[in-house]
Structures are given as structure tokens and as C-alpha cells.
């Protein structure tokens, strides 16, 4: 695991899928913005994978855990990427009075997670159709 403090967050370039962060040590890390999000000035523990392409090594973020910068503890980011979607779906269902019993929350959360996972699988298949130049 590598510890990084984010100096810059760069969105994907036009036509590309991967974004980058630049750490305080001026190293760049590529990541999928659908799975992870970073905030300038925050520190993270990241798991990386090296990828050699055209004689250059690119470092990819595989998993992330935000480090505590003071008041609250770190929150896992990478392995539960679907949680904001699940939370938002359940909250909207509650506000629309679609949930009438507390026992229904678990059912809605499970359905929302399944929908998010299926969407991830579908978009992954679409990305397999892209050209073979990853950067």
C-alpha cells in the first residue's frame, strides 16, 4: 500500500476513460473516475498496479482508503464504490413514500446494489470495444 497526498486531480482527457492524480511527490497515478474519487489536499492509502505501455510505466490505482486528516476516521472508497448510489436510491424512495416499513430498506438497498453492479458489468463490456490504446 502506498500513501499519497493529492496535489492535483485531473479529469480524463477527451476520448479517454482514465483520470489522473498528481501526488505531493510529483508522481502521477491513473484511476477510473467511475470507481474512485479524490480531493485535492486529502491523503489516501492506495493499492497500485504498474502497466508498461510503449516503453513507459503507468501506475494505476486498484483500491483506495482515505486517510484520516484529523477529526473523523478514514472511509473505504474503492471496494464499496456503489454505496452513494444505493444510499441515494433508498433516500429518494423514502422521500417519495415508496418505503412504508423499515424492513423494506434492506430490499431496496439490495436491489439498488444489484442495479449498480449490473450497470458496471455492462459498461465494462462496452469499454472492451474501445481501441487498444489505454491512454
- Same domain, yes or no: 72 and 87: no
Please compute the mean of the pLDDT values over residues 1-12 and round it to a whole number: 90
pLDDT > 90? residue 50: yes
Domain that holds residue 86: 82-135
Angle between helices 83-95 and 104-127 (to 10 degrees): 130
**pTM score:** 0.51
- Domain boundary (29, 57, 78) is at 78
pLDDT digits 0-9 by tens, 70-117: 444 444 445 677 888 888 999 999 999 998 898 999 999 999 999 888
Please compute the mean of the pLDDT values over residues 53-73 and round it to a whole number: 75
Helices (H), 2-103: 83-95
Q: What is the pLDDT of residue 68?
A: 54
- Same domain, yes or no: 65 and 7: yes
- Same domain, yes or no: 36 and 57: yes
- Same domain, yes or no: 56 and 25: yes
Amino acid at each position: 500500500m502506498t500513501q499519497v497526498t493529492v496535489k492535483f486531480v485531473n479529469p480524463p482527457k477527451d476520448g479517454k476513460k482514465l483520470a489522473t492524480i498528481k501526488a505531493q511527490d510529483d508522481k502521477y497515478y491513473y484511476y477510473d473516475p467511475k470507481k474512485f474519487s479524490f480531493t485535492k489536499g486529502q491523503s489516501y492509502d492506495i493499492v497500485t498496479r504498474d502497466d508498461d505501455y510503449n516503453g513507459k510505466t503507468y501506475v494505476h490505482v486498484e483500491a483506495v482508503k482515505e486517510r484520516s486528516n484529523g477529526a473523523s476516521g478514514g472511509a473505504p472508497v474503492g471496494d464499496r464504490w456503489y454505496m452513494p448510489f444505493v444510499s441515494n436510491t433508498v433516500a429518494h424512495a423514502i422521500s417519495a413514500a415508496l418505503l412504508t416499513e423499515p424492513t423494506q430498506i434492506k430490499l431496496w438497498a439490495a436491489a439498488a446494489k444489484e442495479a449498480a453492479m449490473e450497470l458496471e458489468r455492462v459498461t465494462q463490456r462496452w469499454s472492451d470495444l474501445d481501441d487498444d490504446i489505454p491512454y
